Amino acid sequence: MKSLSGKKALILGLANDRSIAWGIAQALHAQGVKLAFNFLGDALEKRVRPLAESLNAEIIAPCDVSNDEQITQLFQTVKEKWGTFDILIHSVAFANKDDLQGRFVDTPRAGFKLALDISAYSLVAVAREAEKLMPAATETGGGGTVITLTYYGAEKVIPGYNVMGVAKAALETCVKYLAADLGPKKIRVHAISAGPIKTLAAAGAIPNFRDFLTTVAEKAPMRENVSPEDVGALAAFLCQDSARHMTGSVIHVDSGYNIMGV
Give the residue numbers marked as catalytic.
151, 161
Q: CA neighbours within 13 Å on the CB side: how many for 179? A: 19
Q: CA neighbours within 13 Å on the CB side: how many for 188? A: 22
The 8-class DSSP code of residue 139 comes to T
User: For residues 79 and 209, what is the distance between their CA atoms, to the nearest angstrom?
Assistant: 41
Q: Which residues contact 251 (CB under 8 A, 6 or more apart)?
A: 190, 191, 192, 193, 234, 238
Q: Read off φ and ψ for residue 164, nearest 5 degrees.
A: -70, -35
User: For residues 62 and 50, what is the distance between their CA atoms, to the nearest angstrom?
Assistant: 15
Q: Are 38 and 56 in contact (CB under 8 A)?
A: no
